[in-house]
Chain A
Amino acid sequence: MENLQGENQTVMSRSSQGPKAVSRRFVTLLLLGAALLAASPGALHAYNLEDRVQRVTLENGMRVLLVERHTSPTVSLYIRYLVGAVDDGEGKTGAAHLLEHMLFKGTSTIGTKNFREEERVLKKIRETGTALDRERMKGNRADEAEVQRLAKALKELQSEAKEWIVENEIDRLYSENGAVDLNASTGQDVTTYKVSLPANRIELWARIEADRMTSPVLREFYTERDVVIEERRQTYESVPSRKLMELFLATAFTASPYRRPIIGWPSDISFLTPDYLEAFFKQYHSPNNTVIAIVGDINTAKTLEIVKKYFGSIPSHKLEGHHVTGEPAQSGEKRTALVAEANPYLVIGWHKPTLPSFEDYVFDVIEALLSKGRTSRFHRSIVQGRQIGEDVSAANGMPAARYPNLFMVAGTPRHPHTAEELEHAVYEEIDKLKNEPVQKQELEKIINQLRAEFIRDLSSNSGLASRLSYYEIITGDYRYMTRYVEMIEKVTPKDIMAAAKKYLHEENRTVAVLVKKEKP
């Protein structure tokens, strides 16, 4: 099951093999929701990661996590900001994501031939673009001649600006120095910039990243806005299962910002302004809202010197207490449908508390019981046994983890079985959770798997940097991941029955179904 509510990325990345993917660097959507991340951390016992992690807080509040791993002369570098789509203003959905794209456009010293000259044109572009948007916003009552005039003026200014722009300089600098996995992603909760480099190139990263943390230039804004509209067309509009997921979240959440798509609603995206993005940037991209993780062939002391040299001087500001609308308790099933020329697809979600509450750990166990591996309950009973479903998975913590979220089940019925049959089969498994205590052996299996996964995760610089920085920024302490299996071991069969009864019931659930429209 792919394409759940994933994160949106600046470029698509792809798994390394197979012609179904499109290019070495640009395909396969990642399923990087909290659920995936939460499924992977593990225990410590023999491999005391806590002893190997250096956690330093700079004077300006920026937190830095470092781990030395000398297996190859490479290093993975992650920067995470505690800002995401949940922070988009009303009518401004897609702002966090578009900003992330814009931060690849360079700074006042990277990507320009003469910033003073360029700035002059950029100012005019911004004025003209804003005027054009204002006219377009009038919809049917827009003055068509004025729209044409402004559009033409904008185009001319854009080609004038090209004279001063050195395009895609950030990517060029990184690539030339041997970078791989250069990318960024925006989630509901967090925005991430990542890259892996030969280990001697850390200063290049610091130079570029500190610069774009302080002096980004939103050049080529209107073209990039169009790119994002194409991104939406590619990853949502053309893919019915993604559209269903968007509809599902918009239905499951009434008030919480999790109801909105990360990429934004089309009509919001097309009116996002550089002014808004700049204000948004200033508000959230402060060192005290930032976590950096550096894992690889480094000398910790020398690396910290570089980090301090470049990031230490960035002033922080007081973070505004940001109010996020809470989700009122649900009291009755919500049900919705998408009719499309595609095969049936089913999504079910129940509201629940988020991490680090104990109940969230319980739901991680439930997720594993239901759908981790070929011996999981869904696979054994629904896919293999009755063969009702092609694929059925559970995911805890959708769509993200900063605020109360959902336990979700999604699946595809196997023809001629229907979404309705699949739904009933899922409920039968949910009822078993409520009524029958889980056997010891089944819990042991899950703990064995989580422990082994934790060890496997230690063998990748980027995987480790990703997890450390994620848990540090979300929970405030990366040790959430190092102590994870210990917590999971505390979950009892009784806890599972209690959580299932308390949350996995009809009044608390939302169901979305993709209904196949036959071709005319």
Chain B
Amino acid sequence: MKRNLALSLVILLISTGLALAEQVEKPKPQSWADPDRLSYEEIKFSPPRPERVVLENGLTVYYLEDRELPLVNISLIVGAGAVFEPPGKEGLAEMTGDVMRTGGAAKLTGDKVDEELEYLAAPISISLGMEYGTGSLSVLKKDLNRAFKIFADLIRNPAFDEAKLDQQKNLKVEELRRIFDKPQRLAFREFKKAIYAGNARGRLPVISSIEKIERDDLVSFHKSHFFPRNLRMAVTGDISKQEAVDLISRYFGDWDDEGDFGTAPLPKPQENAPLYYYEKKVPQSTVIIGAIGPGKESPDFYPFTVLDYILGSGGFRSRIFQEVRSNRGLAYSAGSFYEGRQGYGSFGAYAMTKSESTGQVLTLMEGILKDARESRIPAQDLHLAKRSIVNSYIFSFTSSHMIAFQYMMLEFQGLPTKFLSEYPAKIDAVSREDVLKTAERYLDPGKKTIFVLGDQSKFDEPLKSFGEVKRVK
């Protein structure tokens, strides 16, 4: 009560005018509640659930109504990615997606497609990544029909205009030439090659592979991977379910192609890999320690998510950030990343530090990973990680399109829809023992991949003290 009185007094004084307010003492922060003891009204939120419709040809559609704005948003996922590229043609998936978007379709040239879409302010994107491809269209309700017809044409009947392919190849070659100009991007590219060595995911486009790609390659890549049963769509916005189903049936209903779902062997952890070193004369090194983590379907996904949070992705309090940055000022960017995919996960701990502290940072990071393998994390660290992950989970449901997209993605990844509803409880059930076990299993020192980019002539410690060095370039 006393506290409230003191505060209202201050407010009263200030409300009499600014001149007086200047003489008012600063409020004593002590009079404010301990921020850990604030109480909050409970939030009860059940995110809307999209409806699932399967067309006769096998095309699956997720639909969610959202009338807030006069917009319709459409996304698709297709099982077409770089993992299915024939060796020597690295970059084919990316080129296929790019030229589907730029090379025109049916009776429209690529330039005409651009003109129509930009006049309607209806952006379309098509992009084929490492394991799968995505497409999207965002359009004002009034222009939906016109824009969707173009979208469907680009997906089903891309023209793959030769001139546009040449342009995209030229641009890609220039991009590859310029990779060396951005050391951090270069480092993560080279790291990917190292950790996925021997797997399709480690084969990245180079200038010579881009130059070998021809129109026929695009045509056949498209033909084998784009077919109704290999494609899922999410439609949300200012549209009824019937309208959505009618629209998609009109432009995709008579599509009865079949093709190849494709299989790609999963990456395996490297056994006793050397330390990969890429020399570049820059004042700051990029250090990454990578490992193959659990897949999203694995029961280990949850404890590993918690582990990654504690190690480096959980903000300022995470161990790598705290030790490397806060305590020692050795880096601006330091932390870890983990992404659970289908059948495996990619994990890495990283930091960017001046050449002269490269060895020190590598030692610190190895120590942090070792500690995670050898001792159980303190209960309060586990508590913080679990609360953070669970409390922020609500942000996965902030838009109807985000929600529908997640359902579509789950199905694509072969996960049950209850994955989303069970996630918080499964995170909450993780024990200190679980975290220790996953650390032992996945952060085994014999299975890690260390990568360093920098200028070793300036390092504080020779790299060979961390293992056998393999120079890459």
Contact = CB atoms under 8 A, between A and B. Distances in A.
A425 to B, nearest CB: 15
B174 A415 contact: yes
B181 A240 contact: yes
Contacts of B350: 22-23
B332 interface: yes
A126 interface: no
A178 B119 CA distance: 41
B177 A415 contact: yes
Interface string A459-481: 11100000000000000000000
Contacts of A68: none
A316 B23 CA distance: 10
B391 A60 contact: no
B398 A72 contact: yes
Nearest to B454: A238
B43 A200 contact: yes
Interface in A252-282: none
Interface string B300-319: 00000000000011111100
A144 to B, nearest CB: 19
B135 to A, nearest CB: 14
A341 B281 contact: yes
Given A110-B35, A224-B329, A313-B11, A73 B41 contact: no
Given A214-B27, A343-B177, A46 B70 contact: yes
B45 A175 contact: no
A387 interface: yes
A22 B392 CA distance: 20
Contact of B394 (A21, A72, A342): A72
A168 interface: yes
B284 A453 contact: no
Contacts of B395: 74, 178, 180, 196
A22 B167 CA distance: 30
Nearest to B120: A448
Nearest to B19: A318
Contacts of B375: none
B316 A104 contact: yes
B212 interface: no
A390 B331 CA distance: 32
Contact of B332 (A201, A204, A227): A227
Max chain A Cβ within 10 angstroms of own Cβ: one of B10, B47, B325: B325
Given A27-B333, A313-B10, A343-B178, A72 B47 contact: yes
Contacts of A229: 329
Interface size class of B (residues with CB under 8 A): 35 or more
Interface stretch (B183-191, B240-248, B258-266): B183-191
A316 B18 contact: yes
Contacts of A23: 312-313, 333, 335-337, 350
Contacts of B316: 11, 104, 167-168, 170-172
Contacts of A230: 284, 329-332, 352-354
B192 A107 contact: no
Nearest to A105: B326
B119 A445 contact: yes
B348 to A, nearest CB: 8
Interface string B2-46: 000001001100110110011010110110111110101111010
Contacts of A71: 66, 68, 398-400
Interface in A76-118: 104, 107-110
Given A74-B398, A168-B322, A343-B178, A59 B121 contact: no
B69 A458 contact: yes
Band of interface residues on A: 35 or more
B337 A208 contact: no
B71 A342 contact: no
Given A60-B14, A313-B7, A313-B14, A74 B394 contact: yes
Interface string A300-330: 0000000011101111111000000000000
Contacts of B27: 214, 313-314
B102 interface: yes
A179 B335 CA distance: 18
Nearest to B123: A373
Interface in B327-358: 327-337, 339, 346, 350, 352-354
A79 B76 CA distance: 37
A202 B28 CA distance: 21
Contacts of A231: 332
Given A22-B188, A23-B312, A230-B330, A316 B119 contact: no
Contacts of B328: 223, 226
Nearest to A455: B69
A352 interface: no
B219 interface: no
A114 B54 CA distance: 63
Interface in A322-379: 341-343, 373-375
A37 interface: no
A409 B167 CA distance: 22
A12 interface: yes
B360 interface: no
B333 A26 contact: yes
B271 interface: no
A116 B30 CA distance: 13
Nearest to A384: B167
B315 A203 contact: no
A239 interface: yes
Interface in A210-263: 210-211, 214-215, 220, 222-231, 233-235, 237-241
Contacts of A20: 185, 188-189
A490 interface: no
B40 to A, nearest CB: 4
Contacts of B40: 200-201, 203-204
Contacts of A12: 332-333
Contact of B114 (A27, A107, A315, A375): A375
Given A228-B332, A455-B69, A207 B121 contact: no
A137 interface: no
B175 interface: yes
Contacts of A317: 22
Interface string A174-187: 01111110100000
B115 interface: yes
B280 to A, nearest CB: 9
A501 interface: no
Contacts of B122: 452
B39 to A, nearest CB: 9
A173 B322 contact: no
B421 to A, nearest CB: 16
A167 B121 contact: no
B220 interface: no
Contacts of A170: 316
Interface string B51-71: 000000000000000101111
B140 interface: yes
Nearest to A237: B283
Interface string A433-458: 00000000100110011011101101
Contacts of A239: 181-183
Given A12-B332, A168-B322, A315-B21, A343 B35 contact: no
A183 to B, nearest CB: 10
Which 3 pairs of residues, A with B, have the shortest CB-CB distance? Answer: A178-B391, A226-B329, A452-B121
Interface of B: 7, 10-11, 14-15, 17-18, 21-22, 24, 26-27, 29-30, 32-36, 38, 40-43, 45, 47, 66, 68-71, 102, 111, 114-115, 118-122, 129-130, 138, 140, 167, 170-171, 173-175, 177-178, 180-185, 188-189, 192, 281-284, 312-317, 322, 325-337, 339, 346, 350, 352-354, 384, 387-388, 390-395, 397-400
14 contacts: A12-B332, A46-B70, A72-B397, A74-B398, A172-B384, A178-B393, A207-B38, A226-B328, A239-B181, A241-B182, A314-B27, A343-B181, A387-B167, A444-B119
Given A19-B188, A204-B38, 4 more contacts: A22-B350, A72-B394, A214-B27, A342-B178
